[in-house]
A = this chain, B = another copy of it.
């Protein structure tokens, strides 16, 4: 089986992201290579369990790795303190020891929740990420950010906890609902927009094969992982340029919050609109040119993503409420806004001191 390996170079704790079609069947062997005879607890959700848990368990058993499983309800609601407490207790109930492993088998929700539980139980168990959504493969499973939501916002309680292995089987994405795939694709495009214009060009030409599961899918996931791994290695705790990964996310989070973090607007769908807004705002500020913004909008639209707030069905907050949501966002420091803005495709940068009044004016004329 062909597989691509991306090394995440963290001082003292380097680990591999392995990407390939059908890799789930190798999970056991790859874990056995790192931790022969380990006991494992798989955390997964109902949707993923129905489709991929048997394969995972059979692979583990075949390599002499015992496993038990904790199955949570699918969806963002599971990133709560109650589910966190229950997962910690269930991990403890299995009596796995300090040398054993937690395996997060699922999308970003499972990864964030199980990762935080692994960080907290016995003050830190090692864990393996087996991302099963496109978003998780290119984004959430890489970088060690874990966490749950609070009533005050998303991901506000958590830990930095790096996995010892990330195994991304691009074939498991075949069972992912189309809409989830599209949402994850927004994060794929993001890597091109941040600092890799060549990748964005390539996506414009090859996106159909990423969607239909050709070798381009593996290639795209690998490029994204490499990009994220490089940023994370430079800036593990997000004090510096890791913030570039937030392109489209400040506008996006406000829209997500505005839509009540519901299925009306998935995270990646919000990011797609947010990235277009970041480009449009940058054009308006004379930073980028309109053709680039138009290319971004056209490409995201062609894969089926919405690109304007007006395309979100149902009631949405007005501009004042959106500004309040933006101000609440964690990327605010002492009254000034920090945004990721851009000078063009592949030329994004961190702009501190963005003037809230200008953003307000921009949002007021958005369609």
Contact partner, A333, options B97, B153, B237, B334, Cβ 8 Å: B97
**In this assembly, does A240 line the interface, its C-beta being within 8 Å of a C-beta of chain B?**
no
Q: Which residues of B lie under 8 Å from residue A120 when comparing CB positions? A: 120, 157-159
Contact B157 A121 (CB under 8 A): yes
Cα distance, A92 to B152, chains bound together (Å): 7
Cα distance, A124 to B156, chains bound together (Å): 10
Cα distance, A145 to B123, chains bound together (Å): 8
Q: Which residues of B lie under 8 Å from residue A119 when comparing CB positions? A: 159
**Given A98-B330, A121-B156, 4 additional A-B pairs, CB 8 A:** A81-B85, A85-B85, A120-B158, A120-B159
Q: Which of A133-151 contact B (CB under 8 A)?
A: 145, 147, 150-151
**In this assembly, does A222 line the interface, its C-beta being within 8 Å of a C-beta of chain B?**
no
**In this assembly, does A122 line the interface, its C-beta being within 8 Å of a C-beta of chain B?**
yes
| A-B interface, 4 closest residue pairs, ranked by CB to CB distance from nearest | A92-B152, A81-B85, A120-B157, A123-B158
Copies of the chain in the assembly:
2
Q: Which residues of B lie under 8 Å from residue A93 when comparing CB positions? A: 152
Closest-CB distance, A350 to chain B (whole angstroms): 15
Q: Which of A88-135 contact B (CB under 8 A)?
A: 88-89, 92-93, 97-98, 119-124
Contacts A123-B145, A123-B147 given: A89-B159 contact, CB under 8 Å? no
Contact A157 B81 (CB under 8 A): no
Contact B88 A150 (CB under 8 A): yes
Contact A89 B123 (CB under 8 A): no
Q: Which residues of B lie under 8 Å from residue A151 when comparing CB positions? A: 89
Cα distance, A85 to B81, chains bound together (Å): 7
**In this assembly, does A160 line the interface, its C-beta being within 8 Å of a C-beta of chain B?**
yes
Residues of chain A at interface, number, CB under 8 A: 30
Cα distance, A156 to B122, chains bound together (Å): 5
Residue of B nearest to A121 (CB): B157
Cα distance, A268 to B88, chains bound together (Å): 27
Closest-CB distance, A238 to chain B (whole angstroms): 8
Residue of B nearest to A120 (CB): B157
Cα distance, A122 to B330, chains bound together (Å): 9
Cα distance, A330 to B95, chains bound together (Å): 10
Contact partner, A156, options B92, B147, B159, Cβ 8 Å: B92
Complex interface bits, A327-354 against B, C-beta within 8 A gives 1, otherwise 0: 0001001100000000000000000000
Contact partner, A92, options B150, B237, B333, B334, Cβ 8 Å: B150
Q: Which residues of B lie under 8 Å from residue A237 when comparing CB positions? A: 123-124
Q: Which residues of B lie under 8 Å from residue A85 when comparing CB positions? A: 81, 85
Contacts A81-B85, A93-B152 given: A159-B333 contact, CB under 8 Å? no
Contact partner, A124, options B98, B124, B160, Cβ 8 Å: B160
Cα distance, A98 to B237, chains bound together (Å): 12
Closest-CB distance, A272 to chain B (whole angstroms): 26
Contacts A123-B145, A145-B123, A147-B123 given: A157-B330 contact, CB under 8 Å? no
